[in-house]
Amino acid sequence: MFMHNKNLMYTVRVAEPDPKLASLMLEQFGGPQGELAAALRYFTQGLADEDPGRKDMLIDIATEELSHLEIIGSIVAMLTKGVKGKLAEGAEEVTDLYADIAKGNGSHTLALLYGGGPALTNSAGQLWTGGYIDSIGEPTADLRSNIAAESRAKIIYERLINITPDPGVKDALTFLMTREVAHQKMFEKALYSIENNFPPGKLPGNPEYTDKYYNMSQGDGDMRGPWNQGEQWEFVNITPDQAPVSGGDGNPSVRLAAEEMKAVNEAAKRTMSRTDVNPVTGADLGAGPGSGKMTPVK
């Protein structure tokens, strides 16, 4: 059961309307790193988690993210409040109003299509999609994904703070950015509270390959570091004539019954391309300037 408190989680004071800034704020309203995506990601994970402690944490954080969504949405609405009234009442000439709304970027989309209200889009106008929810149902994988998501969201908030001239909006964004830090710490504690949390899932890796580093991008810039040197790693240079790491000749194979093989061979024979002819094609017949070398049409 959800209940709504009409007070925002954090008091927001906007100095003056700014439609251009409002459009940028939409990145954290309906963008891939935004608060709606975070809330639904953690909410759905919490519903499915069998661990009572993680379930409680995930639902708590999901609910807080909805509070953050309300803060961002309120900021957008306040930043567009002046334009919203002008749109509703036709208070200016169309050309002047359009110029006031656009202010050099795509904020006219927010105002004209959504009436100045917060829209479930990112800052470029891309509609929000459930594809932003990347949960896979394995706690150790999902918690790592959540840690990364909180990190990305913090970076977006940093960028918004750096371009925001309004001190009140900047203050609210700083609060939201800081909560991303807190959530990342929570998810890390939950992850490392699971014994044997790596590798994700139940099946072990094949020990023949778990400690190999394949140097497959060679030339100037080759580097060695803790990711590919030391007792933990076997460094393998891949050469142009390298055989498959699993052995064999590298050619795929499948065993077929005699009847299936016969059908495959007949189909290959029927659709075989000849190598002893140079047929005239439609491209040859319609060739014009800039076509390059073509087959002569006799």
* 8 Å CB contact between 55 and 46: yes
Q: Is 55 helix (H, G, I), strand (E, B) or coil?
A: helix
| CATH code, residues 19-193 | 1.20.1260.10
Residue with tokens 């840690």: 147
89 is in an annotated binding site: no
Q: Which single residue is written with the structure tokens 């070398």? A: 293
Residues 6+ apart with CB under 8 A from 74: 8, 12
Q: Is 215 annotated as a binding residue?
A: yes
User: Is position 108 annotated in a ligand binding site?
Assistant: no
Quick one: pLDDT at residue 104? 45
Please check if 145 is assigned to a binding site.
Answer: no
Continuous segment of H or E residues that includes residue 215: strand 212-215
Q: 241 or 78: which carries more pLDDT confidence? A: 78
What mean pLDDT comes out for the span 183-208? 95
For the segment 282-297, the average pLDDT, to the nearest whole number, is 89
Q: What global pTM score does this model have?
A: 0.81
Q: What is the pLDDT of residue 40?
A: 98
Each residue of 153-194: pLDDT tens digit? 999 999 999 999 999 999 999 999 999 999 999 999 999 999
pLDDT for res 184: 97
Q: List the domain boundaries for the chain.
A: 19-193, 204-240
Q: Are 180 and 47 in contact (CB under 8 A)?
A: no
Question: Higher model confidence: residue 148 or residue 244?
Answer: 148
**E strand or H helix at 235:** strand 234-237
User: Does residue 292 have a known ligand-binding role?
Assistant: no
pLDDT at 23: 87
For residue 56, say whether it is annotated as part of any ligand binding site: yes
Reply yes or no on whether the pLDDT at 225 is more than 60.
Answer: yes
